[in-house]
């Protein structure tokens, strides 16, 4: 009887561990158009962009995301310096579209995003949280 209970517990725990190890799998990647639309809508909400500004931000993001996709399609990982330069170029172009109050809010958003990303590791997990 003991062996039967022990064997049952062993199989249940093995099954539980097997399910616990499964990841979420790959996320469905969005097209550059979808990403641009989402980014433009998010900035419109946060910065109160006009319709003209929204269309300009959409165009800037679309150009940037298409270039990024082209770099990824080549099959090799893009150079970190190239990615950083592209991001700075996009930020510079977006900043040129904004007025003074929107620019201040945009810089605050970027600072908050940078602060949130600082504590993350390579896989995007928050390593700053204390483990119990």
- In angstroms, the CA 79 to CA 98 distance is 29
Query: pTM of the full predicted structure?
Result: 0.66
Residue 104, both tokens: 């201040």
State the pLDDT at residue 71: 77
126 has which bridge partners? Answer: 120
Residues 44, 50, 53, CA angle at the centre, nearest 5°? Answer: 80
- In angstroms, the CA 48 to CA 106 distance is 11
The residue ranges of every structural domain in the chain are: 51-118
State the pLDDT at residue 129: 54
Residue in this structure with the two tokens 């620019």, named with its chain if needed: 103
pLDDT tens per residue, range 10-61: 778 777 776 665 555 566 778 889 999 999 999 999 999 999 999 999 999 9
pLDDT tens per residue, range 71-93: 777 667 778 888 889 999 999 99
Q: Is the pLDDT of residue 96 over 60?
A: yes
């Amino acid at each position: 009887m003991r062996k039967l209970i022990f064997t049952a517990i062993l199989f249940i725990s093995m099954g539980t561990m097997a399910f616990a190890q499964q990841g979420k799998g790959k996320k469905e990647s969005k097209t550059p158009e979808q990403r641009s639309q989402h980014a433009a809508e998010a900035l419109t909400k946060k910065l109160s962009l006009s319709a003209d500004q929204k269309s300009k931000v959409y165009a800037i993001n679309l150009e940037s995301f298409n270039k990024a996709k082209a770099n990824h399609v080549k099959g090799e990982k893009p150079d970190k310096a190239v990615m950083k330069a592209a991001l700075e170029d996009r930020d510079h172009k977006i900043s040129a579209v904004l007025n003074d109050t929107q620019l201040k809010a945009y810089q605050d958003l970027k600072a908050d995003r940078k602060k949130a990303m600082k504590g993350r590791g390579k896989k995007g997990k928050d390593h700053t949280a204390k483990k119990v």
